Structure 1
Amino acid sequence: MLRSLDIHDMLIIDRLELSFQPGLNVLTGETGAGKSILLDSLGFVLGWRGRAELVRQGAAQGEVVAVFDLPPDHPAHHVLQEAGLPDADELVMRRINTVDGRKTAWVNDRRCSGEVLRQLSDSLVELHGQQDDRGLLNPRGHRLLLDAFGGLDVAGLRASWRTLQAAKKAVNETQAALDAVREEEDFLRHSVAELDSLAPQPGEDGDLDITRRRMQGAERIRDDVARAFALLGGQGAEGAMGEALRWLEGVVQDADKTLEAPIAALGRAMVELGEAQDGIERSLSGLEFSPAELEQIEERLFAIRAQARKHGVQPDELAGFSDTLHARLAALDAGESDLEDQRAALAQAQAAYDAAAEALSAARAEAAVRLDTAVMAELAPLKMERAVFETRMSRAEPGPDGVDTVAFTVATNPGAPAGPLNKIASGGELSRFLLALKVCLTGVDSGVTMIFDEIDRGVGGATADAVGRRLAALAANGQVLVVTHSPQVAAQGAHHWRVEKRISDGVTLSTVTPLAPKDRVDEIARMVAGDTITEEARAAARALLSA
């Protein structure tokens, strides 16, 4: 509920403080007195797009403060929490407009954007009038209004839609992965066959390279090692040293022990020579190889490196890469089975969504009939008994809210073609259509302050009285603000303000005055009779107020 509205230096308002009440609040005054300025100022603090120049002439900036009372379950609490703004049972919205056009907004003393203001305004205020494009005249909201009127819960359908979209995504992703693999299936199978035939092992490239190098080196040095071994053998150093040792041992007894040391040294040399011969012999054994074996090693080494170059990996990574290709091939072979399972899940999700959507469409059709009946019943007292209101449903692209497009249409005369509200009805007819529709939808927007801007234009007498009574009924359990020129409507108000212009020191200013019961009589009498208020007009005003 809008509790108060403070306006400073906006258009022709210097300072204005208004305290609103629950129920029907009416604002009256002569044309041009400034009633629309109040709505412009309220729209400004709510973030609505309106006039560009709002600051009062001569002022540095204009300011509007609106205070709302929020019940615990009001949707504005969610907006505040999502925006990270202080949340309480009182909502204070403040916005400043400087003379150079800069706008700054606060919510509960915290800076915020105009977008947050507009999100809050959608849950706080609903404006109805002949230029209304935010509420009932907006076809995009008709489906939501019908669902709310029928008490229809779309949560289950939205869950089915999410399941369906997830199933479609799974099928598309699996299909795309299979398509990508199929494009290289021939290459993949050929590569796997080649690698399986080659069967590379981790570290094999390094081992083969070492072996090849050793064998290539052996070919170059074996002859030299063999020559060295021959020189140390019986026909070489070993034989010569043995022959020398025998000669010395034959004469050692006659040499007065002078040969004992040389003979011992030769013995030790023979032992060392034997060890050298053994080592060289072992080396010769290791240097023995078959040229065919070297050829085989080189062929395998080259084959491994060729496969590595082909697949863009290091030779030692080839074994792991082969495992990767095997996994991709296995995924291809298993993918068809997975895809079939996912397609079955998709078909099941589609069937569930279709069933839920059709059930919701049927419920909407039933609710549409009830809404049409209710609106038609409201039109008769509003002197539009010949008009026809119809809720039309048509097929739409499937979505989270179903497969229906909903539009409220009217035909003002029997046999005339029906069309959208704002295209068919005249100003006065449109106002009454909106009022009848809103009466039927009462309770849909709990906690919303409804504003009707001259919705009674073009009607009078009993019709205006019917309009006033329905506005009062709307306000019975909430808050309604009405800008009106109709005395019948004004008389139904629980709270009444008069808007008037005055000139002070050559400056035109607008003021708003709350009216006591006696003052209400005079104001309604003015609305009945014009500038000259007669006793007959006062009597008519009292009759309206007591009716």
Structure 2
Amino acid sequence: MLRALEIRDILIIDRLDLAFQPGLNVLTGETGAGKSILLDALGFVLGWRGRAELVRAGAAQGEVIAEFQLTPDHPARAVLEDAGLDAGAELILRRVNGTDGRKTAWVNDRRCSGEVLRRLSDTLVELHGQHDDRGLLNPRGHRALLDDYAGAVEERRAVRDAWAARTESRARLEAAEAALEEVRAEEDFLRFAVKELDDLAPGAEEEAALDAQRRRMQGAERIRADIARAHAALTDGAEAAMGDAGRWLDGVAQQGEGALDGAIAALDRAMVELGEAVGGVESCLDGLTFDQHALEETEERLFAIRALARKHNVAADALPALRDTLSGKLDALDRGADDLDNLRQAVAAADIAYDGAAEALSAVRRAAAERLDAAVSAELAPLKMERAVFRTEIATAPDGPEGRDAVTFTVATNPGAPSGPLNRIASGGELSRFLLALKVCLTERDSGVTMIFDEIDRGVGGATADAVGRRLAQLAAGGQVLVVTHSPQVAALGAHHWRVEKSVADEVTTSTVVALDPAAREAEIARMLAGDTVTDEARAAARALLAG
């Protein structure tokens, strides 16, 4: 509910503070007094697209602040949460327009974008009038309005879920078909490449091992001859000489009376060390012994692995993983037909589920359309449009998350006349009454939205205007309605009444809004009845209207 509206330096408004109330709030005044400016200012703070230049002449900037009261379950809370903004019992919107055209907005003292304001406005305010393209005159919203009237919450949820499941199943099928087609296009290559990899069967670290083995074999040819000569020198020369020396010393050791004991012990130790050296050299010679054919085989396999890696543009160690990947594609190709059959069956099941949910929702809509047509027809009679025919047309639309129905509210103003969209068939006054009748039927509970009717009573008077006013009061019961009106019958039924006035001082025109007490209200309604000259009869008629 709109609690307050503060306007500073907007068009011809200098400073204006308004405190609105629940129920039917009526704004009246002479033509050109500035009633439309109030709506311009409210639309500005709500982010609506309107006039480009709003700043009052001579002012540095224009500013509008709107305060709304939110119920605990108000839909604006979800918008605030999505935008990361705090949501309390009060919602304060503030927007500033500079003379350079720049616009800045705040929500509860937090900067926000115009898009957030517009999303909030959809949950806060409904504007209805002859030129309203955001509400009842917009066919794009008729289906949602019918669904709300039908209470089709569960049916709509079922359709959305079925649509999501169908979309997902079709996407999986399309992806599988595309992947299979891609694999089929390279089937010959895959089968050849996998066979080639299987035939070679490279190991993950085999390339490094083969390279090290090859280098050892190549090095062995260069050093084995020297090591063999060293072995011969140790075994044929040094070992024999040391053996001879040992025997000679042992033969004379006794005569040497211990003088040779140290030398003989050292020689024994040297023989042991010499034996270990010979054993090490022999072991090395054994390790360097290889078949030349083995070197050729090692080089041939090493070069084959490296060539295959270059062919597939991968590291040699990645060849086993590549083989698994390519083999997996072949497996997918081989089982692809079965997978596609399963996916097609899933799509068919999802189609059936969607068809059932969509048809159930369509049935609910058709039944609700009949009820709505009857309800609107009942409302049209008191509005002096008993010969008009309102019809909710439901046509087939492409499948979607909201079903397969296109909903349009149409009207034929006279029996036998062709029906068409509201804003194309009905005249100004007729259109206003159609909108009011439709809104009365569609609004069954307080949604927390402030409804604004801009001169919806244009072109009607007398009993018809009274019927319009009573229906506006009915809409306002338990909620809030703002109506800009020139009808005294409508104004008399308001719970709260403001008069918009325009004045000129020092060649400067300003507009203001005055809250009317009972006496002033009687005078205003008398003016609306009589014009410039208010007679006693007009005052008496005003009192009668106010008395109900």
- TM-score normalized by structure 1? 0.88
Task: Name the aligned partner's letter for residue 322 of structure 1.
Answer: R
Tell which deviates more after alignment, 388-397 or 285-294: 285-294
For 1:259 and 1:86, locate their aligned partners in 2 and report how far apart those are by CA, in whole Å: 107
Aligned-residue RMSD, C-alpha: 3.4
Tell which deviates more after alignment, 479-488 or 192-201: 192-201
Deviation at 1:436, TM superposition (A): 0.9
For 1:259 and 1:545, locate their aligned partners in 2 and report how far apart those are by CA, in whole Å: 150
Structure 1 segment 287-366 matched on structure 2, within 5 A:
287-366=288-367
Match of 1:207 among 203, 206, 209: 209
8 A Cα contact 1:205 1:315, kept in partner: yes
8 A Cα contact 1:167 1:349, kept in partner: yes
Structure 1 segment 72-471 matched on structure 2, within 5 A:
72-153=72-153, 154-219=156-221, 285-443=286-444, 446-471=447-472
Which residue number corresponds to residue 486 of structure 1? 487
For 1:461 and 1:413, locate their aligned partners in 2 and report how far apart those are by CA, in whole Å: 22
Task: Name the aligned partner's letter for residue 478 of structure 2.
Answer: N
**What do residues 68-127 of structure 1 show as CA deviations (whole Å, max 9, x unaligned)?**
222222112222222233322122222233333333333323333222222222111111
Tell which deviates more after alignment, 256-265 or 1-10: 256-265
**What do residues 190-225 of structure 1 show as CA deviations (whole Å, max 9, x unaligned)?**
222222222223433333334434444455566666
For 2:73 and 2:258, locate their aligned partners in 1 and report how far apart those are by CA, in whole Å: 126
For 1:195 and 1:218, locate their aligned partners in 2 and report how far apart those are by CA, in whole Å: 32
For 2:493 and 2:501, locate their aligned partners in 1 and report how far apart those are by CA, in whole Å: 21
Q: Structure 2 stretches of 5 or more lacking a match?
A: none
Q: Kindly tell me: are residues 279 and 485 of structure 1, through their superposed partners in 2, closer, same or farther at Cα, counting changes over 3 Å?
A: closer
Q: Kindly tell me: are residues 230 and 395 of structure 1, through their superposed partners in 2, closer, same or farther at Cα, counting changes over 3 Å?
A: same
For 2:98 and 2:222, locate their aligned partners in 1 and report how far apart those are by CA, in whole Å: 97
For 1:119 and 1:524, locate their aligned partners in 2 and report how far apart those are by CA, in whole Å: 37
For 2:463 and 2:381, locate their aligned partners in 1 and report how far apart those are by CA, in whole Å: 12
**What do residues 328-382 of structure 1 show as CA deviations (whole Å, max 9, x unaligned)?**
4444445544444333333222221221011101111111111111111111221
Q: Kindly tell me: are residues 334 and 444 of structure 1, through their superposed partners in 2, closer, same or farther at Cα, counting changes over 3 Å?
A: farther
Q: Kindly tell me: are residues 238 and 444 of structure 1, through their superposed partners in 2, closer, same or farther at Cα, counting changes over 3 Å?
A: same
Deviation at 1:260, TM superposition (A): 12
- What's the secondary structure of 1:392's corresponding residue? strand
Deviation at 1:31, TM superposition (A): 1.1
Task: Name the aligned partner's letter for residue 418 of structure 1.
Answer: S
8 A Cα contact 1:69 1:89, kept in partner: yes
Tell which deviates more after alignment, 110-119 or 25-34: 110-119
For 2:28 and 2:266, locate their aligned partners in 1 and report how far apart those are by CA, in whole Å: 139
For 1:398 and 1:192, locate their aligned partners in 2 and report how far apart those are by CA, in whole Å: 45
Tell which deviates more after alignment, 194-203 or 409-418: 194-203
8 A Cα contact 1:148 1:444, kept in partner: no
**What do residues 461-496 of structure 1 show as CA deviations (whole Å, max 9, x unaligned)?**
222222122112111221111111112222222222
Q: Kindly tell me: are residues 217 and 527 of structure 1, through their superposed partners in 2, closer, same or farther at Cα, counting changes over 3 Å?
A: closer
- What's the secondary structure of 2:190's corresponding residue? helix
Deviation at 1:162, TM superposition (A): 2.0
- What's the secondary structure of 1:306's corresponding residue? helix
Q: How many residues align?
A: 546
8 A Cα contact 1:62 1:96, kept in partner: yes
Task: Name the aligned partner's letter for residue 346 of structure 1.
Answer: V
For 1:39 and 1:259, locate their aligned partners in 2 and report how far apart those are by CA, in whole Å: 130
Tell which deviates more after alignment, 286-295 or 482-491: 286-295
Task: Name the aligned partner's letter for residue 312 of structure 1.
Answer: N
Tell which deviates more after alignment, 361-370 or 389-398: 389-398
- What's the secondary structure of 1:85's corresponding residue? coil
- What's the secondary structure of 2:504's corresponding residue? strand
State yes or no: 1:21 paired with 2:21: yes
Instruction: State the percentage of identical aligned residues.
Output: 69
For 2:394 and 2:71, locate their aligned partners in 1 and report how far apart those are by CA, in whole Å: 35
For 2:157 and 2:202, locate their aligned partners in 1 and report how far apart those are by CA, in whole Å: 58
- What's the secondary structure of 1:456's corresponding residue? coil
Task: Name the aligned partner's letter for residue 11 of structure 1.
Answer: L
Q: Kindly tell me: are residues 504 and 286 of structure 1, through their superposed partners in 2, closer, same or farther at Cα, counting changes over 3 Å?
A: closer
**What do residues 109-149 of structure 1 show as CA deviations (whole Å, max 9, x unaligned)?**
33332222222221111111111111101111111100001
For 1:269 and 1:437, locate their aligned partners in 2 and report how far apart those are by CA, in whole Å: 121
Q: Kindly tell me: are residues 525 and 193 of structure 1, through their superposed partners in 2, closer, same or farther at Cα, counting changes over 3 Å?
A: same
8 A Cα contact 2:446 2:478, kept in partner: no
For 1:233 and 1:85, locate their aligned partners in 2 and report how far apart those are by CA, in whole Å: 95
- What's the secondary structure of 2:429's corresponding residue? helix
Structure 1 segment 492-507 matched on structure 2, within 5 A:
492-507=493-508
